[in-house]
Each structure stands twice: as C-alpha cells, then as structure tokens.
Amino acid sequence: MPNPRLTILVVEDEAAIAETMVYALQTEGFAPLWKTTGRDALAALAAQPVALIVLDVGLPDMSGFDVCREIRRRGTTPVIFLTARSSEVDKIVGLELGADDYLAKPFSPRELTARVRAVLRRSNGASHGGKAPAAGWQHDEARCRISFCGNALDLTRNEYRLLGALLASPGRVFSRDQLMTAAWDDPGAALDRTVDAHVKTLRAKLRAVAPEEDPIETHRGLGYSLRET
Ligand code: CA
C-alpha cells in the first residue's frame, strides 16, 4: 500500500450528517472514525493517531469549543468546525480557538473533502519546516522589498509587514488579530477594520501589476491567506 489511510475523526451527533461525511471521506481514500460525543472523541484522540478532526459545535455532552480547547492543550491536530449558525462562526473567530477552518451546514460532501485536503496540505507543509515561496513572489528582506510577477511593489510600512507575514506561510489562514500583531507596532491601537483597509489597498496595488491574479484570499469570518500557487 503506497500511502496508509489517514484517520479523520468525525465528531457529530446527527447520524444522517455523520454518515454522509463518513461515506464521502471513505470514498476519497481516508479512514473516517465517527464519534457522537466530545468525551468519546477525546478518548479516541488519546488512543490512536488522528490526521484531522471534523468537529461539530453542538454536541450532546459538551460544546465543540470546549472539545477544541482540550484538543489544543494536547497538540496541533488540525480542526475543521461544523457550524449550524453564523453566531457560532463569530465565536470560533472571537475565541481564537485555533481552528483551521469551518464549514457551515448544510454543506456538500465534495466541499467537506476539499476542505479536508486543503487543511491537510497546509498542516503538512507547516510540519516540514515551511514551504517554498509561492510562485510569482520575491521577497528581498534586506531591502524590505516585495516583488510580484516581476514588479517591485510600492508599499507602506504596514502593508509591507502584513504582506510579508502572509508570504512567509502561503496557504495559512491568518486571523485579523494575527496580522495586526505581525504588522503593527501597537496592535492594541489598531481596529480590525484597519487590517481590512490595508488588504484592500494591497489588492489594488497587486491588481495594478497583475490584473488577473488576486493572490490574497478572504476566508469569511476567519481572516486572510496568500494563495499557494
Ligand atoms: Ca450537533
């Protein structure tokens, strides 16, 4: 067997949703492991290696948020949340639980497996000591200069630092807080909107040199990432 099947822990109390996910993951070559409570999920995680956890927010015994906190205390296994309400998305972001992505119900099996693959790709890259720089980019750190598609960008200091942070980990989703910490000397004084405003001006400058590309991706409710290829 060329690749051992990766175990994906599915934590969801609604059988119909869980069965759809288990089937989709199996079809895609993963080894899904289904648990219906937070307690059973944590026990399974302690008992065997798990590549990724798909975690429902609303569980019968404890909230998915508490389960995620416990997962983070134990390690860095990637977590994709399943949410039923937009208020839950706000919480995932606001509480900074260390989730890697989320899916809003209802979602298609195809969406699920695409997200699972994307998160696994990102976390693999991270555990192998970073990635090759994304195509089209050059970062001359000594000169504090970033070029895109062969054009040096004329950036303000905050734009430079913000883009530098994204560029250091292509594909990684940064929360607004993380970008603020990376790019501002006094992050407490900046507002979330400040990050959005800088991303907007950055996009305009990137569009000016490469109208087709749009390499900064928005992850609604989570933050921003730089496209990997
Ligand atoms: Ca549920």
The CATH number of the domain where 101 resides is what?
A: 3.40.50.2300
**Residue 178 is part of which domain span?**
138-226
180 and 102 both lie in a single domain:
no
Residues 212-227 have a mean pLDDT of 91
Phi, psi of 83 (to 5 degrees): -120, 150
User: How far does the centroid of ligand 1 lie from the alpha carbon of residue 51, in Å?
Assistant: 22
Mean pLDDT is lowest, of 38-47, 72-81, 93-102, for 93-102
User: How far does the centroid of ligand 1 lie from the alpha carbon of residue 60, in Å?
Assistant: 7
Domain boundary among 127, 150, 167: 127
Residue 57, Cβ density class (10 Å: 0-12 exposed, 13-18 middle, ≥19 buried): buried
Domain boundary among 78, 100, 127: 127
116 and 197 both lie in a single domain:
no
Q: What is residue 92's predicted lDDT score, i.e. its pLDDT? A: 78
98 and 200 both lie in a single domain:
no
Q: Which residues of 74-101 are buried (b: 16+ CB within 10 A; e: fewer)?
A: eeebbbbbbbeeeebbebbbeeebebbb
Residues 6+ apart with CB under 8 A from 76: 123
Report the percent of the chain where pLDDT is more than 90.
48
DSSP-derived pairing of the beta strands 79-83 and 101-104: parallel
The CA distance from 154 to 84, in Å, is 43
* Residue 188 pLDDT exceeds 80: no
pTM: 0.57
User: How far does the centroid of ligand 1 lie from the alpha carbon of residue 139, in Å?
Assistant: 45
| DSSP per-residue string spanning 150-187 | TEE----HHHHHHHHHHHHSTTPPBPHHHHHHHH-SSG
User: How far does the centroid of ligand 1 lie from the alpha carbon of residue 55, in Å?
Assistant: 9
Let me know if residue 2 belongs to a domain: no
* Residue 130 pLDDT exceeds 50: no
User: How far does the centroid of ligand 1 lie from the alpha carbon of residue 91, in Å?
Assistant: 16
User: How far does the centroid of ligand 1 lie from the alpha carbon of residue 217, in Å?
Assistant: 29
- Residue 115 gets the label, from left (phi > 0), alpha (psi -120 to 50) or beta, of alpha
20 and 117 both lie in a single domain:
yes
Let me know if residue 114 belongs to a domain: yes
- pLDDT tens-digit map of 46-93: 888 889 999 999 999 999 999 999 998 887 789 999 999 888 887 777
155 and 117 both lie in a single domain:
no
User: How far does the centroid of ligand 1 lie from the alpha carbon of residue 222, in Å?
Assistant: 21
User: How far does the centroid of ligand 1 lie from the alpha carbon of residue 174, in Å?
Assistant: 27
